[in-house]
Amino acid sequence: MATTELTKQALDLPVEDRLDLARQLVESVVTPESVFDQVKEGIQRIEDVATGRVVGLTEEQFRSALK
């Protein structure tokens, strides 16, 4: 199966299933431990926002915080 076909099928999955798939794919890649930990934390943060456990900033709030 071509990557583009897999990508299309993966994007059709419900959010929770896509997050689980993303986690599994990242964990399957052999990386230095420090990079693995950073990616794992990044995925957890994305999951927190995607599932509503954490409310993200609006673009206006983000830009204001940069000043």
Give the pLDDT confidence of 14-43 residue by residue, as tens digits.
999 999 998 888 888 766 777 788 888 998
Kindly report the pTM of this predicted structure.
Answer: 0.47
Tell me: the pLDDT tens digits for 38-58?
888 998 999 998 899 998 888
pLDDT for 13 equals: 96
pLDDT for 23 equals: 85
Q: Which one, of 62, 25, 23, 58, lies nearest residue 44 by Cα?
A: 23
pLDDT for 26 equals: 82
- Cα 64 → chain centroid: 25
Hey, is 2 helix, strand or coil? coil
pLDDT for 31 equals: 67
- Cα 59 → chain centroid: 19
Domain-by-domain residue ranges, the chain? 3-66
